[in-house]
Amino acid sequence: MVKYVIHYDYPPKLKTFIHRSGRTARATQSGQVFSFIFPNEIYYILDILLHIGRKLNNQILEENKDNQFCKFGKIPLSKMATFIDHFQKSLKEDPEMKRMWESSEKAFKKFMKSREAASRASLKACGEHNFDVFHPDFLDEYEHEDTQDIMA
């Protein structure tokens, strides 16, 4: 059984995203799905939520009956600092890692140009939310953070 699915990048097709995420809900079991996205990809997440009938919520909920809400928000930079430092050090010290990074950046730019546009419904729904907020699971740490954080 898979308890967690972590999307480090947004798949090019809605069905791929749903298929990957569905791995957490086999045989009456439940799990959690985490997605790291760029702020401009929120439209695509909204497409998924509209498709599966769920809503975004950045509040702490006492009850989330039937998992109808999906939490969202930024991750405090302090939670990512060790990873970022290690990654930047690796890029400086390892020429092969630097080449792979440069190659992946080029591929990502091509991907961004080639993917389908988000739906009009998700563009409309996007206006209903403030996305410049911390994820509810990190609200206690919000007061101690710089606002230059990463969207989750």
> One-letter amino acid identity for 35?
S
Examine residue 64 and state whether it is found in any structural domain, yes or no. Answer: yes
Whether the model clears a pTM of 0.85, i.e. scores above it, the answer is: no
Looking at the domain assignment, is residue 111 inside a domain?
A: no
Helix (H, G, I), strand (E, B) or coil at 61: coil
pLDDT of res. 103: 95
Residue pLDDT, tens place only, 46-83: 888 888 888 777 666 555 555 667 778 888 888 888 88
Share of the chain above pLDDT 70, in %: 84
Percent of the chain with pLDDT over 90: 14
Task: Tell me what pLDDT residue 90 has.
Answer: 92
Any domain includes 103: no
> Considering the domain boundaries, does residue 90 fall inside one?
no
Closest to 60 in 3D by CA, of 142, 149, 137: 137
Cα dihedral 86, 135, 21, 10 in deg (nearest 10): -60
In a domain, 106, yes or no: no
Task: Judge whether 111 and 12 are in contact, CB under 8 Å.
Answer: yes
Contact 66, 72 (CB under 8 A): no
Structural domain includes residue 21: yes
CA distance 27 to 105: 38
Q: Which residues of the chain have pLDDT under 50?
A: 147-152
Nearest to 123 by CA among 13, 46, 24: 46
Number of domain units in the chain: 1
The reply to whether 121 falls in a domain is yes
Query: Would 33 be classed as within a structural domain?
Result: yes
Cα gap 33→62, rounded to integer Å: 19
Which range of residues forms the domain containing residue 134?
A: 4-76+117-151
d(CA 39, CA 147): 14
